Amino acid sequence: MSPAPAFIEPTPPFDFGLTAGYLTYFRGRYGSDSFENGELRHVTDVGGKVALATVRSLGSVDAPRLKVGIAGEGLEDRDAEAACCRTAWALGAYDELQPFYEIALKDPHLPPLVHAMRGLHITRASPYEAMIHAILGQQISSHVARMLRTTLIETYGPSATIDGRECFAFPSPEALANAGVDALRSIKFSQRKAEYVTDISAMVASGRLDLDGLRGKSTEDVVESLTAIRGVGPWTAHWLMIRALGHTDGFPYGDIALQKAMGMLVNGGSTMSADEILKYSERWSPYRSYVTVYLFAAMRSGRLEELVGSDGRGDSGT
So what's the pLDDT on residue 31? 87
Q: How many CA atoms lie within 13 A of 259 on its CB side?
A: 12
Please give the residue that has the higher pLDDT: either 3 or 48: 48
pLDDT at 3: 67
> How does pLDDT run across 267-314, given as a tens digit for each residue?
999 999 999 999 999 999 999 999 999 999 999 999 999 998 644 444
Look up the CATH architecture of domain 6-94: 2-Layer Sandwich (3.30)
**pLDDT of res. 5:** 84
CA 271 → CA 94, 267, 312, 316, distances in Å?
35, 7, 12, 22
The per-residue pLDDT of the chain, averaged, comes to 94
Beta strands in the chain (DSSP E): 6-8, 29-30, 33-36, 39-46, 49-57, 66-71, 159-162, 165-168
- Residue 255: which of 148, 143, 146, 138 has the closest Cα? 138
Identify any residues that bridge with 168 across adjacent strands, giving them in sequence order: 159
Tens of pLDDT, residue by residue over 158-187, are 999 998 999 999 999 999 999 999 999 999
pLDDT-above-90 percentage for the chain: 91
For the purposes of burial, counting CB atoms within 10 Å of the CB of 266, is it exposed (0-12), middle (13-18) or buried (19 or more)? buried
Write the pLDDT tens digit of every residue in 239-263: 999 999 999 999 999 999 999 999 9
The Cα–Cα gap between 230 and 233 comes to 8
Give the 3-state secondary structure of residue 46. Answer: strand
pLDDT for 193-209, tens place per residue?
A: 999 999 999 999 999 99
pLDDT band at 114 (very low <50, low <70, confident <90, very high): very high
Under CATH, which number does the domain 127-243 receive?
1.10.340.30
pTM summary value: 0.94
Listed by start position, the domains of the chain span 6-94, 127-243
pLDDT over 70 percentage in the chain: 96
Please, what sign has the CA dihedral across residues 192, 272, 221, 97? negative
Residue 2's pLDDT is 62
When computed from its CA atoms, the radius of gyration of the chain, rounded to whole angstroms, is 19
Where residue 232 falls (left for φ over 0; alpha for ψ -120 to 50; beta otherwise) is beta
Task: Categorize the per-residue pLDDT at 139 as very low, low, confident or very high, splitting at 50, 70 and 90.
Answer: confident
Rounded CA-CA distance 242/152 in Å is 23
Q: Is a pLDDT exceeding 80 seen at residue 317?
A: no
